[in-house]
Structure 1
Amino acid sequence: MVLKIYGFNMSTCTRLVALICKEKEIPYELVTINLAKREQKNPEYLKIQPFGQIPYIDDDGFILYESRAIARYLIKKYTNQGTTGLVPTDPKKEALFEQAASIEVSHFNPHAGPLMFEKLFKVRGGGTTDEVKAAEHLKNLEAKLDVYEIILGKQKYLAGDEVTLADLQHLPYGSMLSLAKHGDVIEKRTNVARWWKDISNRPAWLAVKDGA
């Protein structure tokens, strides 16, 4: 049975899962959940994903939600298939990966996500950007990327000199910065720009960046 991803082709979390499928050469079927009709809040959907969010996967009857958890599961299940090393197994390398993954969750996503909500998602939904909130998130993101610049001046990727899931997790929201006219936060930082050019030009990302 082919892996099924229940999500929406342009959602950040759905594209992360699709990205990992491409990296690991895993065939998948996207089962579209219509967010405009709030299908993710239907009682039948909530029985499977109680938070009413996307995506979740059905891997031959095994149900899993939360995109980062799904990504790790697929990487570990298909260890020797496709791109290897996305979640290292050596204890020290794994610890550095966990550190890098925590950096994305704690320092990048909390500012990039809300910034994109204010500048893009809110407007697309017919709302108006709260410029004060947007400016605050941009300021905080700039400060975090200053630290990224230091880290990436010492190594190629966030966990060392090999690409990991921690780097790839940045792609869905990071790719939207230029759409919100904030691409300069990456481009003006030499080491961040070099890292971003590298990960954003991976064939797996190019295959899903415009839709899972």
Structure 2
Amino acid sequence: MAIKLIGFPQPPNTLRVVLTLNELGLPFELEPVTDIQTIKTEDFIANKHPFGKVPVLIDGDFVIHESRAICRYLISKYQKDAKVVLIPDDPNKAAIVEQYLSYETAYYDPPLTKIVYQELVIKNFLGKPIDEAVVKQALEEIEKVLDIYEKILEGKDYLTGEYSFADLLHAGCAQYIYADTAHSYIFEKRPNVKRWIANLRNRDAFKKTYA
């Protein structure tokens, strides 16, 4: 039975799972959510996600939700047969990947998500004016974060030196900043960060995911 992914087609949470599937070379079926009420039913809440959210992944009889948990499940189960190593077997190397994953969750993703929400959802989708104060504060925050990333990435193509799950999770928000906002300068003016983001966007799995 093919892997099924239930989710809205465009949001970062769905696409980070799609990117993981593509990196691992796994075939899957995307079941797009076109009506939000379909994920608020009693059946969906009881059997798919207790908070009525997506993405949800179904692999045979196994059901798992929350995008980062889904990605880790896929890596744990299928990486051994893939051409890419997203989380190394070596415990020290794996711990460093987890360290950078924590950076992404705590420092990188929150300000970028605020910017993407204002620019993509509020302005482009809903056609309403953005909250300039929110965007300004988020830009100031991410600038400080990227200053640190610029130092981390000195002499390296990827965060640990080799492509990993940590890099993968950073890719999505960066793509939205480039594609849907005028703020790509936050990456472009930092040579090491610029090179890193370019490396992420040039991967075959990335191009397939965000085509």
Equivalent in the alignment of 2:103: 103
Counterparts in 2 of 1:143 and 1:174: CA distance versus 1, 3 Å: same
Give the corresponding residue for 1:193: 194
Taking the aligned partners of 1:83 and 1:72, their CA distance within structure 2 comes to 16
Which structure: greater helix fraction? 2
Query: Cα offset for 1:155?
Result: 3.0
| 2:8–2:33 CA contact under 8 A, matched in 1 | yes
Shift of 1:32: 1.2
Deviation digits for residues 68-126 of structure 1, max 9, x if unmatched? 11111111111222233201121110110110100100111111001111122112123
| Counterpart residue number, 1:181 | 182
SS in 2 for 1:58: strand
Query: Does residue 170 of structure 2 align to residue 170 of structure 1?
Result: yes
Structure 2 alignment gaps of length 5 or more: none
Instruction: Give the fraction of aligned pairs with identical amino acids, expressed as a percent.
Output: 34
TM-score, reference length from structure 1:
0.93
Q: Which sits farther off after the overlay, 126-135 or 142-151?
A: 126-135
Moved over 6 A (4+): none
SS of the equivalent of 2:79 reads coil
Give the residue type in structure 1 aligned to 2:79. T
Contact 2:157 2:199 in 1 (8 A): no
**Match status 1:31 vs 2:52:** no
Per the alignment, residue 129 of structure 2 pairs with 128
Number of aligned residue pairs: 208
Whether contact under 8 Å (2:85, 2:164) holds in the other structure is yes
Structure 1 partner of 2:158: 157
Say if 1:25 and 1:81, in contact at 8 Å, map to a contact too.
no
The residue that corresponds to 1:209 in the other structure is: 210
CA contact (8 A) 2:57 2:70 kept: yes
Deviation at 1:170, TM superposition (A): 1.3
Q: Secondary structure at the match of 2:50?
A: coil
Letter in 2 for 1:97: V
- Counterpart residue type for residue 66 of structure 2: E
Where relative contact order (Cα < 8 A, 6+ residues apart) is larger, the structure is 1
